[in-house]
Amino acid sequence: MYRDMEVRNNNIGTAIQYFRESFHISQSKLCKGICSVSTLSRIEAGERDVDALILETLLERLRKVTHHFELILTDFDYKAYICREEIKKKIKDKDIEKARKLIHEYDKLTIGKGSPHRQFIMVNRAYLNELEGKEPKTTIDLLMEAITCTVPDFNTNEIRDYYLSVTELNIILEILQRMIALGMDEKAERILNQIIGYLYWHGQMAYDRKIYLKVAVIAGKFFMKHNKIDKALEICDITLKMYKGSNKMDYIGELLYIKAQLLERKFIGSSEWEPGKKTDCLKLYLQAYHIFDFCEEKSEAESIRKHLREVYQWEDIG
């Protein structure tokens, strides 16, 4: 489970304290929604063992990959880990009955063991609800319950006071994408602005590039849909500048495609649609096209090809 760096449970607290202080994060902000400050103090002092999922969650909030550490698992930790992996597999395989049974067993096994366990249960109940073809709004409600397990005031306050894990951010993104799909745009915009503000605020934490780029793509499309051209362009420009040279080529391609469409709308809607501006848009479309073509995203590449031929009479492509 953990291979690269051996850190026993009674020493991992020292590592958590070191990374926390390196990022200038207070104990209360790191453990908010996961455990009490006094519990974190005992973890850092090596005076208290907690279950492995709580330690993983704390490390993940510090942007530390858990497989870099080797924890000594208790019998409970091992049973819980195996059960989580089985649940994920059954959900992936769309084995609804076995997934439901395992979630129920995990619920009984982990009762009273802490908010990360409850969060895992609620996320997988949401997936199960979706697999069963039930009400999409119920899926969102279950995911909302999942995120409030570790971010209790998610619905009422800004999230800047938290140092969220990739798992927590992905739950928020799943809520956001489902709200957009259901046309819950007002609520979706509030959450989207929260995430954007959070990622900008915590930029020094070197957040996972994939998440940052994913948020930028969602935001660009959302604000373009609502004709908030300047806001969408600002997000695209900031993100493309930050991640110039990134190997996340598919997201970069999407951002370039979004920016090309935004500039085209802006120029056509004003008196600026002249040869120089057309060339600017054309360059962005071509950059996006070649990235999509390289990544074998054929439908996106074909959409650009068709658009360039119809609007720009550009045949020299492909």
pLDDT digits 0-9 by tens, 186-218 = 999 999 999 998 888 776 444 567 788 899 999
Judged against a pLDDT cut of 60, whether residue 171 lies above it is answered with yes
- Residue 69 binned pLDDT confidence (cut-offs 50, 70, 90): low
Mean pLDDT along residues 251-259: 95
User: How many angstroms separate the CA atoms of 126 and 141, rounded?
Assistant: 8
Residues 157-170, mean pLDDT to the nearest whole number: 86
Where along the chain do the CATH 1.10.260.40 domains lie? Answer: 9-68
pLDDT category of residue 44 using cuts at 50, 70 and 90: very high
At residue 188, the pLDDT reads 96
pLDDT over 50 (residue 7): no
Q: What pLDDT shows up at residue 104? A: 98
- Does residue 293 surpass a pLDDT of 80? yes
pLDDT above 90 covers a percentage of the chain that reads 68
Give 8: exposed, middle or buried? Use CB within 10 Å, 0-12, 13-18, 19+.
exposed
For the chain, what is the mean pLDDT?
89
| Spatial separation of the C-alpha atoms in residues 165 and 193, rounded to whole Å | 18
Residue 305 has pLDDT above 60, yes or no: yes
Q: Range with the lowest mean pLDDT among 24-33, 107-116, 130-139, 193-202?
A: 193-202
Whole-structure pTM value: 0.87
The pair of structure tokens assigned to 25 is 């994060």
Distance of CA 198 to the CA centre of its chain: 12
Residues contacting residue 22 through CB under 8 Å, at least 6 positions apart: none
Tokens 């590592």 label which residue? 15
> How would residue 4 be classed by pLDDT, with cut points 50, 70 and 90?
very low
Instruction: Choose the CATH number for 208-318 among 2.40.128, 1.25.40, 1.20.58, 1.10.1200.
Output: 1.25.40
Residue 194: exposure state from Cβ atoms within 10 A (0-12, 13-18, ≥19): middle
Q: Encode burial over 261-291: b for 16+ CB neighbours within 10 A, e otherwise.
A: bbbbbbbeeeeeeeeebbeebbebbbbbbbb
Residue 13, CA atoms < 13 Å, CB-side half-sphere: 17
DSSP, res 296? T
For residue 257, pLDDT beyond 80: yes
How wide is the angle at C-alpha 128 spanned by C-alphas 207 and 212, nearest 5°? 15
How many angstroms separate the CA atoms of 271 and 212, rounded?
34
**pLDDT for 318:** 55
User: In whole angstroms, what is the distance from residue 40 CA to residue 96 CA?
Assistant: 37
Where, residue-wise, is CATH 1.25.40.10 in the chain?
A: 74-203
Taking the C-alpha atoms of residue 56 and residue 116, their distance in angstroms, rounded to an integer, is 9
Multiple choice CATH, 9-68, 2.40.50.1020, 2.60.40.1120, 1.10.260.40, 1.10.10.10: 1.10.260.40
- Write out the two tokens for 183: 């046309």
CATH architecture for residues 74-203: Alpha Horseshoe (1.25)
Average pLDDT of the residues in 258-286: 90
